[in-house]
Chain A
Amino acid sequence: MRDMVPVLEARGTRVPSAPFVRFSTLWVQVTGTWCNLQCVHCLNASGPRDPWLKPLCAERVRHAIRESEALGVKDIYFTGGEPFLHREILLLLGFALAAAPTTVLTNGAAISEATIAALASLARDAPYSLEIRVSLDDVDPEGNDRVRGRGAWARAVRTIRRLHAHGLLPIVAATEDPGGEGQVGPGLYGRLRDFLVGLGIDKPRVKILPLFPVGRLASRGGDLLSEEMLDGFDRARLQCAEARVVADGGVYACPILAGLPGARLSAGDLEESFRPAPLSHPGCVTCYETGMTCRNA
């Protein structure tokens, strides 16, 4: 899998960077790129076999959370891969929730009824909000499964229903034009909201993400940011100005680029990573153009 990920190369011109403004968000790449699905648009080319980015052991995660809490973290996100494949995910979510509001990103395909009951219990007892973000790229099963794999739609929708039944308010996350063919337009947000209301979900929550030229879509390539393009642009708005990602191999600038050598800011120490992040990947252009954030809001 590693050969699918572009290694950043030095360029002749100066690489622009984003300042480190403050530490707000800790991302934990808890299962690396180990996933039960193999989506065609996956940001980090995750899949079920031989993850190029290894899962983290529980102690590494707990250490990062403790370090983050002392540094005044505002929120914590768990991602992968599929976080619910981690054997200790519930314990780790509980540990994180004692420190800060916590979100877990999931494809919803591997969450049992018992796990959802445990999540509801965690949410009830925690001092801070627990958010569950479930990926669903289309209201139409065929459209979704074309990019996420056969059966993915049904399993995700079942999980969304169960989360709702347990009083959790899932955020449904979708990628615009996941096939990269211009098939899905700006009405995706409204369609997903209507779909959720149709399921009986009275507080529909939807997050739309842009398509990134990274992971399995890295071959689409794209321009790189230059100092000229960034002239007059407030770089502090970029999420790498206030987020850091703990993943196998170190601390990285953003969840989109976790594991890529050019985005590594320290070998493991969080505070050491609090320095400007190079904006040297085509994915940085997507953040610049869309103003997107991987956070919930």
Chain B
Amino acid sequence: MTASVNALHPVAAYRRIAVFGGVYSNALALEATLEDARRREVEAVFCLGDMGGFGPHPDRVFPLLRAGAVLSLQGNYDESLASGRDDCGCGYTDPRDNHFARISYAYTFAHTSAENKAWLGSLPRHRRVQLGGSGVLMCHGSPRGVNEFLWESTTPNGLLRRLFRDHAADVILCTHTGIKWHRALPEGRHLVNVGAIGRPENDGSPRVWYTLLTAGAELEVEFVPVRYDQSMLARQMDAEGLPPEFSETIRTGWWTTCLESLPARERARGRF
């Protein structure tokens, strides 16, 4: 549908790709995700940003991203770290959310090397690829805002139609919220929030998720669960002095922080 647009700006074409977001310094989950994606014979792996935050030892994810040839975007966290901002730019408005966000950001900023910050600063904000007959636009929050939350229960179809039209895309891939979802509009356009691999998605399970997209007569969207050694990650977090609320989430799969940005429906599904 956007072939004419893409013809003017040639983009890489694929049949099968893996996409994830929100690494949040979870090197163990990243390693498991890349291994799983390789087994499924994808042609390329994409990350939609937010390499750091929440987890321990942020510098451990960068060698994995480079070795895995992961094509990455810049998220709000990455932008903040690269530009030396004093907050993560997550877009929280609640005092409790901001309290934990400050702790997380201060730790991550202090433990991310200058070289890796510079790399984060070099990442693009958007990326376009062709997936079969579909023009795909990748972004972090939304095509129009790096820290805009696109939750399933608060993203109306009228807005999606506007985003598809304004940004000349058949498929939009985003992350930022940390909870995956997919909606296909009747006219054949798709919004896929690919979820996050750095933190479970508030469903009571410690697993995390990435997304496989396969071109065909219809675009095939598959959410893939990833299991990794979450106990080891939680121990590393505790050893680094990160808040116990963070490691509790890793162990249990229930969010204990960043809850106030959740809409009613998504909040109701969680424990807290």
| Chain A 34-82 interface residues, beta-carbon cutoff 8 Å to B | 68-75
Per-residue CB contact flags for chain A residues 162-179 toward chain B (1 = under 8 Å, else 0) read: 000001110000000000
Choice from B92, B144, B162, B267 contacting A205 with Cβ under 8 Å = B267
Is residue A257 within 8 Å, beta carbon to beta carbon, of the partner chain? no
For the residues of A in contact with B, the DSSP-based class is loop
Do B154 and A208 touch (CB < 8 A)?
no
Interfacial chain A residues near B94, Cβ < 8 Å: 206-207, 297
Contacts of A127 in B (CB 8 A): 156
Q: Which residue of A lies closest to B144 (CB)?
A: A22
- B267 A69 Cβ-Cβ under 8 A: no
Contact, CB under 8 Å: B264 / A169: yes
Give the residues in chain A near B261, CB-CB below 8 Å: 297
**Contact mask for chain A residues 135-177; partner B; CB cutoff 8 A; 1 contact, 0 none:** 0000000000000000000000000000000011100000000
Alpha-carbon distance A290/B144, docked complex (angstroms): 24
Q: Are A169 and B267 in contact (CB under 8 A)?
A: yes
Indicate if the CB atoms of A73 and B268 lie closer than 8 Å.
no
In the assembled complex, the Cα of A73 lies from the Cα of B263 at a distance in Å of 17
Question: A110 vs B56: C-alpha distance in the bound complex, in angstroms?
Answer: 50
Evaluate contact between B95 and A189: CB separation under 8 angstroms: yes
Shortest Cβ gap from A273 to chain B (Å): 17
User: Inside 8 A of A205's CB, which chain B residues have their CB?
Assistant: 260, 267
Complex Cα–Cα for A297 and B260 (A): 7
In the assembly, what is the distance between CA of A295 and CA of B156, in Å?
Answer: 16
Is A128 touching B272 in the complex (CB atoms < 8 A)? no
Q: How far is the CA of A100 from the CA of B158 in the complex (A)?
A: 8
B110 within 8 A of A: no
**Cα distance A208–B95 when bound, in Å?**
9
Q: Which of B93, B162, B264, B265 meets A72, CB within 8 Å?
A: B162
Contact indicator per residue, chain B 237-272, by CB within 8 Å of chain A (1) or not (0)? 000000000000000000000011101111110101
| A189 cross-chain contacts in B, Cβ below 8 A | 95-96
Given A72-B161, A189-B95, A297-B93, the answer on whether A167 and B268 have CB atoms closer than 8 Å is: yes
- Supposing A22-B144, A128-B154 touch, asked if A73 and B159 sit within 8 A by C-beta, the answer is yes
B122 at the A interface (CB under 8 A): no
Assembled-state Cα–Cα distance A126/B113 (Å): 47
Contact of A130 among B92, B95, B163, B264 (CB under 8 A): B264
Count how many chain A residues have C-beta atoms less than 8 Å from C-beta atoms of the other chain. Answer: 33
Bound: A105/B177 CA distance, A: 25
**Cβ of A259 < 8 Å from any Cβ of B?**
no
For B142-185 the 0/1 string (1 means CB < 8 A from A) is: 00100000010111101101110000000000000000000000
A6 to B188, CA, bound (A): 51
Q: B165: shortest Cβ distance to chain A, in Å?
A: 9
Complex contacts, B144 vs chain A, CB 8 Å: 22
Are A129 and B265 CB-contacts (below 8 A) given A101-B154, A202-B272?
A: yes
Q: Measured between C-beta atoms, what is the minimum distance from B40 to chain A in Å?
A: 32
Cα(A203)–Cα(B156), bound, Å: 25
Set of chain A residues within 8 Å of B265, measured between Cβ atoms: 123, 129
Which of B153, B162, B272 is in CB contact (< 8 Å) with A101?
B153
Complex interface: chain B residues within 8 A of A128 (CB): 153-154, 156
Decide: B158 and A73 in contact? CB cutoff 8 A: yes
Q: In whole angstroms, how far apart are the Cα atoms of A167 and B269 in the complex?
A: 11
| Chain B residues whose C-beta falls within 8 Å of the C-beta of A193 in the assembled complex | 96
Q: What are 17 A-to-B residue pairs whose CB atoms are below 8 Å?
A: A71-B158, A71-B162, A72-B158, A72-B159, A72-B163, A73-B159, A74-B156, A100-B159, A101-B154, A128-B154, A189-B96, A203-B267, A203-B268, A206-B94, A207-B94, A297-B92, A297-B94
* Residues on B facing A (Cβ under 8 Å): 92-96, 144, 151, 153-156, 158-159, 161-163, 259-261, 263-268, 270, 272
* A interface residues, Cβ below 8 angstroms from B: 22, 68-75, 99-101, 123, 127-131, 167-169, 189, 193, 202-203, 205-208, 293, 295-297
Given A73-B158, A296-B263, output 11 extra A-B contacts at Cβ < 8 Å: A72-B162, A73-B159, A74-B154, A75-B156, A101-B153, A168-B264, A189-B96, A203-B267, A203-B272, A205-B267, A208-B95
